């Protein structure tokens, strides 16, 4: 992935600005493997968005305080917890790690209408307004359906900075046909299932292209779905964007 790192560094050199502390964010890559070629759900950010307007992205966004307090129907894998705690900024905790996965599920539901989870047989719920509609779907968050895929911290000089964790989930776990259960709040328009090639050819941020190429390479490995599979970590160090592995 050396060429991807070099590309990111060329882009960084063109941009500068004041230092802004990154905020926790989570993104979900929904992968549909039902057809002859894998497809990924992507949408276009509204032209009025302060961050990456008119760019095609995966569903996701900032973490809400309630995300770390909501209970899950199934826990995350211990290996995933260890990886999420790796170099976690601020005060690392299991609750924050769980909140990252919860945030990915919540943001995906808000932006696409897709509720990833399992039947809510345990009476789980939340008083938080941002979780009310999700629980009304009759499901509960199932963290075992997610795999930690990648991490990227927006470099200095941006108007918005995020410490983003990318998760991946199989569309077969959606409980509905992938092409018919899309709605959302309108923050993402033109929601579409795209092949990796179609997604790369779209108007996407540089880091999104990097993550797509990571996915393309990772899927060649027999154990690529394992929670123990290495997680690439992109961040700015010593005036350069670097790729490390968790």
Helix (H) or strand (E) run with residue 24 in it: strand 23-32
Q: Where are the beta strands (DSSP E) in 137-225?
A: 139-140, 146-153, 162-170, 188-195
Q: What integer is the mean pLDDT of 54-80?
A: 93
pTM for the model stands at 0.88
**pLDDT tens digits along 172-199:** 887 555 555 566 555 788 889 999 999 9
Cα(113)–Cα(18) distance, integer angstroms:
36
pLDDT band at 34; cut points 50, 70, 90: confident
Q: What integer is the mean pLDDT of 215-223?
A: 96
Q: Phi, psi (5° rounding) for residue 243?
A: -110, 120
Tokens of 208: 């999104």
Instruction: Give the CA diameter of the chain.
Output: 52
CA distances from 77 to 26, 140, 147, 157 (A): 17, 17, 9, 35
Tokens of 185: 């709040």
pLDDT > 70: percent of the chain: 84
pLDDT band at 7; cut points 50, 70, 90: low
For residues 71 and 99, the answer to whether their CB atoms sit within 8 Å is no
CA distances from 42 to 102, 106, 155, 181, 236 (A): 19, 16, 23, 14, 26
| 230: pLDDT strictly greater than 80 | yes
**pLDDT tens digits along 118-177:** 889 888 889 899 999 999 989 999 999 999 999 999 988 777 899 999 999 998 887 555
* Average model confidence (pLDDT) across the chain: 87
Centroid of chain to Cα 173: 17
Q: What integer is the mean pLDDT of 221-228?
A: 96
Which one has a higher pLDDT value, 79 or 1? 79
**pLDDT tens digits along 79-96:** 999 999 999 999 999 999
pLDDT at residue 174, rounded to an integer: 75
Cα(135)–Cα(120) distance, integer angstroms:
8
| 58: pLDDT strictly greater than 80 | yes
Residue 184: is it exposed, middle or buried by C-beta count within 10 angstroms (0-12/13-18/19+)? Answer: middle
190: left (phi over 0), alpha (psi -120 to 50) or beta: left
Total of domains in the chain: 1
Return the CATH number at 9: 3.90.79.10
| 241: pLDDT strictly greater than 70 | yes
| Domain coverage including residue 92 | 2-245
């Amino acid at each position: 992935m050396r060429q991807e790192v070099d590309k990111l560094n060329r882009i960084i050199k063109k941009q500068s600005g004041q230092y802004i502390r990154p905020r926790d964010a989570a993104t979900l890559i929904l992968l549909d493997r039902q057809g002859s070629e894998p497809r990924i759900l992507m949408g276009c950010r509204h032209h009025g968005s302060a961050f990456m307007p008119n760019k095609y992205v995966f569903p996701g966004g900032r973490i809400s305080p309630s995300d770390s307090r909501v209970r899950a129907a199934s826990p995350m894998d211990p290996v995933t917890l260890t990886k999420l705690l790796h170099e976690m900024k601020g005060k690392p905790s299991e609750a924050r790690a769980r909140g990252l996965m919860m945030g990915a599920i919540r943001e995906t539901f808000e932006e696409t209408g897709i509720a990833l989870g399992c039947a809510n047989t345990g009476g789980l719920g939340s008083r938080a307004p941002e979780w009310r509609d999700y629980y009304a779907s009759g499901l509960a968050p199932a963290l075992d359906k997610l795999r930690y895929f990648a991490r990227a911290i927006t470099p200095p000089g941006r108007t918005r900075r995020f410490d983003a964790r990318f998760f991946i989930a199989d569309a077969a776990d959606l409980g509905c046909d992938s092409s018919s259960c899309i709605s959302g709040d309108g923050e993402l328009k033109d929601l579409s299932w795209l092949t990796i090639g179609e997604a790369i050819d779209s108007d996407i941020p540089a880091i999104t292209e990097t993550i797509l190429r990571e996915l393309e390479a990772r899927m060649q490995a027999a154990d690529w779905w394992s929670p123990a599979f290495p997680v690439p970590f992109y961040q700015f160090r010593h005036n350069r964007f670097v790729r490390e592995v968790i």
